[in-house]
Structure 1
Amino acid sequence: MSRIVLLNGDFLDFADAKLPIMDRGFLFADGIYEVSAVLNGRTIDNEAHLARLDRSLRAIDIPNPYSTAEWVGFQNDLITRNGLREGTVYIQVTRGVAEREFTYAEGLTPTVLMVTQAKNLLTSKLAVDGATVITLPDLRWARRDIKSVGLLAQVLAKQAAKRAGADEAWMVEDGLVTEGASSSAFIVTRDGALVTRPFTQAVLPGVTRRAITALIRETDLRLDERAFSVAEALAAQEAFYTSASSFVTPVASLDGDPIGTGKPGPIAIKLREFYIRTALAG
């Protein structure tokens, strides 16, 4: 089966999909993206992802080209055309095509790209062994709550983690962890509180993080939404991170030092199982 993508409302073979070189997404990273997980051929937490897409588009003054129902129809059609059972569906919306000028004309037609990727989401070596994480200075722009395609700082952080033999990087600002290069960060304190940073312009409002905190509130676990330091993370009994493509991933070590026992902790394991079970039943 050839890979099919959606480009500006048309379903095309991957090799036939072309973008103009003057697209502002290419020239300026002037665009927004979203990623939804797919399990059993069905998107997960998709309503929240599309709501965040709309919010981010409005934040940078790009008109949303489709209604929620139209987005869902395109996603489901693309998933079916590609026979995707497990993986992700990626959406990118840029401001459109124009001569290279920093300012933009009103009324540009947005460029819309949608592509699926097959991935193993349910089975994860990191979920079994725990992830290794390093810390790095947070060099990103101030509006991290906008899911911009301008991801150079995250690319460099991920590459630094890879070169260090790590699986993820946690960004640090003023001594406090903001979030992962592509994830939301959690710790479990010695007295059993789950701690994660509240949603502000300093962090992306993670959809999976939001779903996990909702699940936490259904348990007897205690949630504390506040910033935490690297030192506090190193002293924690557990740590984990969340994202659309990794669900809940336990952290085994931070900057080479073990977190807790150095193995996935029971709370992270429980939340991962709870989230997957809820997603599959939904």
Structure 2
Amino acid sequence: MTRTVYVNGDYLPEDQARVSVFDRGFLMADAVYEVTSVLGGKLIDFAGHLTRLKRSLAELEMTNPHSDDEWLAIHRRMVADNGIDEGLIYLQVTRGNPGDRDFAYPSADTAPTVVLFTQAKTQLADSPAAKVGISVISVPDLRWSRRDIKTVQLLYPSMAKMAAKAAGADDAWFVEDGFVTEGSSNNTYIVKDGVIVTRALSNDILHGITRAAVLRFAAEAQMKIEERNFTIAEAQAADEAFYTSASSFVMPVVSVDGASVGDGKPGPVAARLRDIYLEESRKSAV
């Protein structure tokens, strides 16, 4: 089945979807995005994704083209038109097409470009990787300093993922000033003596929607949490490690730079948090 893609108010077959070559998302990476998971045909953590989208747009002085209700209606139609039971919806808003290339922002009346598409996935919830855990390598964090804005500037994370692939690993964790910032597309955690450790929010990391939910569920389950920096050496010596993201939920990490974490198998804290997250998120899905 040909996917239906949303472009600026139109629902089109994917082979008919077009964006101008002068669009600033294409020329300048002047755009923000969100990815929302779909389980059982419903949107996971949708309110959180909308809140972050609005924050990202505001930080870049971009206009939010839709109300919350309009965004929800568009997402629901994309799920329905594409028959998505389990998968992802990608949303991107750019500063639009000013008609030519210029480093300066165009006038405020330039209409933003809005694009959405779906990706059908199987085994998002019942992930084989979550059962065995994944391996990561560390790479220097060479990104810009406003990682809290979810922009489409993803070349370096893409390079990091390719470096991991070349090293025979599954993913990469960024390191800056001796400490882990985050993963190539996820927030990072270790567990030591029953305490969950993760970096505190700042401009240095993305304010993960799944991160917020998982930490809330962990606190409700009376788990101990420390928001502080940690090193690769601490991760290697930890009892467990994991990461969170909208598409992976809670993913155990069993190897860091070639060293096994704990006994080299997914640990009980990550497994419990994954179960809690999936159960609670399904309840609140829209």
Q: TM-score, normalised by structure 2?
A: 0.97
Aligned to 2:226, the other structure's residue is in SS state strand
Which letter maps to 1:16? Q
Residues of 1 paired with 2:252 and 2:72: CA distance? Answer: 31
Pairs within 5 Å for 1:5-24 = 5-24=5-24
The equivalent of 1:131 in structure 2 is 134
- 2:181 is aligned, of 175, 178, 181, to 178
The equivalent of 2:223 in structure 1 is 221
Aligned to 1:148, the other structure's residue is in SS state coil
The equivalent of 1:2 in structure 2 is 2
Aligned to 1:83, the other structure's residue is in SS state coil
Q: Does 1:165 align with 2:168?
A: yes
Q: Which runs of 5+ in 1 are unaligned?
A: none
Residues of 2 paired with 1:88 and 1:166: CA distance? Answer: 24
Q: Which moved more, 1:226-235 or 1:177-186?
A: 226-235
Q: Does 1:64 align with 2:64?
A: yes
The equivalent of 1:101 in structure 2 is 102
Identity of aligned residues (%): 50
Residues of 2 paired with 1:176 and 1:106: CA distance? Answer: 41
The equivalent of 2:25 in structure 1 is 25
Residues of 2 paired with 1:161 and 1:67: CA distance? Answer: 39
Residues of 2 paired with 1:281 and 1:201: CA distance? Answer: 31
Residues of 1 paired with 2:21 and 2:132: CA distance? Answer: 43
Which letter maps to 2:34? E
Aligned to 2:220, the other structure's residue is in SS state coil
Residues of 1 paired with 2:17 and 2:5: CA distance? Answer: 7
Which letter maps to 1:5? V
Aligned to 1:91, the other structure's residue is in SS state strand
Residues of 2 paired with 1:271 and 1:39: CA distance? Answer: 17
Residues of 2 paired with 1:2 and 1:42: CA distance? Answer: 21
Aligned to 1:269, the other structure's residue is in SS state helix
Residues of 1 paired with 2:121 and 2:87: CA distance? Answer: 4
Q: Does 1:194 align with 2:196?
A: yes
Q: 1:281: Cα distance to partner?
A: 2.2
Residues of 2 paired with 1:27 and 1:81: CA distance? Answer: 30
Cα deviation per residue 1:112-169 (whole Å; 9 max; x = unaligned)? 0000101121121210110100000001000000000011110100111111111111
Q: 1:220: Cα distance to partner?
A: 2.1
Q: 1:22: Cα distance to partner?
A: 0.6
Q: Does 1:238 align with 2:240?
A: yes
The equivalent of 1:146 in structure 2 is 149
Residues of 1 paired with 2:282 and 2:111: CA distance? Answer: 37
Q: Does 1:255 align with 2:223?
A: no
Q: Which runs of 5+ in 2 are unaligned?
A: none
Residues of 2 paired with 1:262 and 1:124: CA distance? Answer: 18
Q: Does 1:35 align with 2:69?
A: no
Aligned to 1:33, the other structure's residue is in SS state strand
Q: Does 1:116 align with 2:112?
A: no
Q: 1:192: Cα distance to partner?
A: 1.4
Q: Does 1:75 align with 2:78?
A: no
Residues of 2 paired with 1:222 and 1:3: CA distance? Answer: 44
The equivalent of 2:277 in structure 1 is 275
Residues of 2 paired with 1:31 and 1:24: CA distance? Answer: 7
Aligned to 1:217, the other structure's residue is in SS state helix
Residues of 2 paired with 1:67 and 1:280: CA distance? Answer: 24
Q: 1:2: Cα distance to partner?
A: 2.1
Which letter maps to 1:221? M
Runs of 4+ in 1 over 3 A off after TM superposition: none
Residues of 1 paired with 2:130 and 2:218: CA distance? Answer: 19
The equivalent of 2:206 in structure 1 is 204
Q: 1:41: Cα distance to partner?
A: 0.5
Which letter maps to 1:172? V
Aligned to 1:242, the other structure's residue is in SS state strand
Q: TM-score, normalised by structure 1?
A: 0.98
Q: 1:26: Cα distance to partner?
A: 0.4
Number of residue pairs aligned between Structure 1 and Structure 2: 281
Aligned to 1:87, the other structure's residue is in SS state strand
Aligned to 2:263, the other structure's residue is in SS state coil
Q: 1:20: Cα distance to partner?
A: 0.7
